A and B are shown apart, each in its own frame.
Chain A
Amino acid sequence: MKKSIRAALAAAALLLPAIAQAQNLRIGLREDPDILDPSLSRTYVGRIVYMALCDKLFDINERLEPVPQLATGYRWETPTQLLITLREGVRFHDGEVMDAEAVRYSLNRHLTMQGSYRRAEINTLDRIEVVDPHTVRLVLKTPSASFLSMLTDRAGMIVSPKAAEALGRNFGTRPVCAGPFRFVERVAQERIVVERFPEYWDAANIHFDRVTYLPIPDNTVRLANLQSGAVEFVERMEPDDMATIGRARNLRAVAVEELGYQNLIFNLNNGPRSNTPLGRDARVRHAFELALDRAAINQVVYEGMYTPTRQPFPPANPFHVASFAPPARDVARARALLREAGVTTPYQVEMIVPNNPDLRQAAEVMQSMLSEVGFDLRIRAMEFASSLQASTSGDFDIYFNGWSGRTDPDGNIYSFIHTGMASNDSRYSNPEVDRLLDAARTELDVEKRRDLYARVLEVGIAGDAPRVYLWHRKNIMAHAARLAGYRPIADGMIRLQGMRLQ
């Protein structure tokens, strides 16, 4: 009797490691994603979940270059004709075959679906031709240097045509793609669960059976979940969490520079509120910039972790212009510029700040720096949605916000400073800058294109100063030490390929 119990215990002990090897990963997200339809979704956090669900034609590597994913390669036949070869033997989660027809269907869906947010990203695409089952030809209306980079994100995600037809606008409630994991369930604000897709084309690199995404908005609580082992990975922590994570032997923190930036936007020509010395006279804006010490603000508010900048292209971006560095703080020169512009000090200006503790704190440090020069900065903290409204409708002097960033430089600058563009809340307009931006858009030679952007920075940013770029943030990720294989890439995505628990 005793013997058999002992035998049973031994057998159970042998079984235990086998049970422990069923690997499940739990990821704490900073927000709850919006709809999981690659054509309709808008949030950054949603893209993290797509890494499990939907493969793209191309992914990006550490140097932000496109690398094949569902595609196997590409070739520009002419500046407006892109030939893409597709991976063979790839299946969607519903068993359908991923082929040229499916690519055509998906790109057309991105392009024509009502309410598609991808349309603006790929609207240079004129038509898609199926050359053979594993080759498509994309014909553009005009040459586009940024087009390929669009196919590395949601616009390059290929959905199952059969499922998309069947579910229509509700596709996002049960997405069917060709990613490493298939959709299991979603409980709004609670969890999104995906499970391993055995027929995934790169299945050998997938080591989890199940991944659960848990939105946990509070930073302290998200970290507590990691510390207590309730999740194995958390994204977008704050700089001051680094010390806590560093002290814990079973945790690891990784800080990766982001693709985007934070900046100050001046109201140059957006409604009656732009008619101020600050809006009319570039000298006043230069004085404003010269009053700021980016490195000091960064030190006080972000523990020195962010990268001060004067441009929208982070150092990791191949189009970063190294010679275009932030000017040193110069109070005397700033005062002189204000005098030259005939501004009587103290000159009162208002800055809208989205109501986050760190942004408010940064604004307060700027406030004291500016007061030495003669600016009387009033800080107006607003809930985010209201601040967007104020900025769009011109109800602001200065707006303090950020941009999540794109791999291609065009996505970080064009629509923000080109005349008449969507996100140009300054209503800044300079024909020379427009010409340079348009030229850079279609210039396929990297060297020439970088020179064009350098000119844009000289004429637009250093000259007219419609914006002051402040710093590039860091994506701070933290995970259990026993989790291996996470590849930090500046886009802040969590790529599950190669990740495993030890």
Chain B
Amino acid sequence: MGIWLLRRVGQVIPTLIILSILIFGLQQLMPGDPAVILAGEERGDEQVLAQIRAELGLDKPIWQQYLLWIGRVVTGDFGFSWRIRVPVSELILTKLPVTFQLATMAFLIAILIGVPLGIVSAMKKDTPADWAANGAALLGISTPNFWLGIMMILLFSVELGWLPPSGYVPLFEDPVQSLSTTIMPAFVLGTGIAGVLMRHTRAAMLTAMSQDYVRTARAKGLRERVVVWKHALRNALIPVVTLGAIEFGRLLAGAVLTEQIFTIPGFGKLIVDAVFNRDYPVVQGVVLATALIFVLLSLLTDLLYMAINPRLRQA
């Protein structure tokens, strides 16, 4: 187990190095010279451009720029935003809790809706309950987030006046206000994922229910509830956990459109604004942080597998 963990962590380091090169390289392919963007209305003045390039190190060869950047990143210095002159690490640290809260709420909503619906629809296969659950899942998957978001704002904020239309209040500042600002975006994100989770849970449950051990359990005279919850579901959960981890990772990487609609100051909004303003240090820092989150999540998923399935612990 200890060796396995070491080996697994060992894989992480080269992954991150390759990623950092990719991030840095891909960004150079973006059209639009950052100096021109930063110069604003003085963009035709070569002197101004040269001054900006020199100040930001953009006049150095690309490999030198990369080494300078990565050298600082290793010591925890992600540089500062060119646009608002705030350290990138500070931006990441203030946006991460926002995104984490939103992602967790959305994920809980997705699980609470998706998994039970999947089980019910597998158990009641080819009945009206199954059709209804499938219909709901299809609706959840195919409704665009931005449309649902705007409709919810118009209904719950403008017409009914129950919830604030946008913005964000930190959880520890005012929990009630915080929940009321995040519940709509969390619901919008959660319903989309709930549909996917429902379909996968249903498929996995159907497979599990047709396995020999389920027949054996039934033959032993166990009650159906025990068969479903203790024997079938546990096995069916493995692919669902994998999918769940991927979806959670995607949520943490930022839900761009949803954050934009609800003006939630999270990762997605941060990176989109940074790309449009060619604020390279922010783009690099956030993408790298996101990549790190993904790598950690996949590590966590592997550990979760072992918790669910004891057979994997020997490997």
Which residues in A have some Cβ–Cβ distance to B below 8 Å? 32, 34-35, 42, 114-115, 117, 120, 169-170, 172-173, 187-191, 214-218, 220-221, 224-225, 227-230, 383-386, 388-390, 392, 415, 421-425
Residues of A within 8 A of B265 (CB): 187-190
Complex Cα spacing A220 to B150, Å:
8
B32 near A169: Cβ-Cβ < 8 Å: no
Q: Is B2 an interface residue (CB 8 A)?
A: no
A221 near B150: Cβ-Cβ < 8 Å: yes
B164 near A187: Cβ-Cβ < 8 Å: no
Which residues 160-199 of B sit at the A interface, judged by CB distance below 8 A? 161, 164-168
A385 near B277: Cβ-Cβ < 8 Å: yes
B83 near A35: Cβ-Cβ < 8 Å: yes
B45 near A120: Cβ-Cβ < 8 Å: yes
Q: List 9 A-B contacts (CB under 8 A).
A: A35-B83, A191-B167, A224-B150, A228-B161, A228-B165, A389-B32, A390-B31, A392-B36, A392-B44
A422 near B44: Cβ-Cβ < 8 Å: yes
Q: Is B273 an interface residue (CB 8 A)?
A: yes
Give A172 Cβ to nearest chain B Cβ, in Å.
6
Residues of A within 8 A of B84 (CB): 34-35, 172-173, 188
Question: Which of B64-72, B118-126, B256-264, B297-305 makes up part of the contact surface?
Answer: B256-264
A227 near B158: Cβ-Cβ < 8 Å: yes
A421 near B44: Cβ-Cβ < 8 Å: yes
Q: A383-B276, A384-B276 are in contact. Are A217 and B83 (CB under 8 A)?
A: no
Residue on B nearest A223 in the bound complex, by CB: B158
Residues of A within 8 A of B36 (CB): 388-389, 392
Q: A385-B32, A388-B32, A421-B44 are in contact. Are A224 and B86 (CB under 8 A)?
A: no
Q: A115-B51, A188-B84, A189-B270 are in contact. Are A224 and B43 (CB under 8 A)?
A: no
Residues of A within 8 A of B81 (CB): 188
A389 near B45: Cβ-Cβ < 8 Å: no
Q: Is B52 an interface residue (CB 8 A)?
A: yes
A221 near B153: Cβ-Cβ < 8 Å: yes
Complex Cα spacing A115 to B32, Å:
20
Q: A173-B85, A228-B161, A422-B43 are in contact. Are A189 and B153 (CB under 8 A)?
A: no
Give B213 Cβ to nearest chain A Cβ, in Å.
52
Q: Which of B41, B55, B86 contacts A423 (CB 8 A)?
A: B41
Given A230-B165, A384-B276, A421-B44: 18 more A-B contacts, CB < 8 Å: A42-B38, A42-B41, A188-B94, A189-B265, A189-B270, A218-B261, A221-B263, A224-B166, A227-B157, A227-B158, A229-B161, A230-B164, A385-B31, A385-B276, A390-B31, A415-B44, A423-B43, A423-B44
Q: A32-B273, A115-B55, A389-B36 are in contact. Are A422 and B41 (CB under 8 A)?
A: yes
Which residues 34-64 of B sit at the A interface, judged by CB distance below 8 A? 36-38, 40-45, 48, 51-52, 55
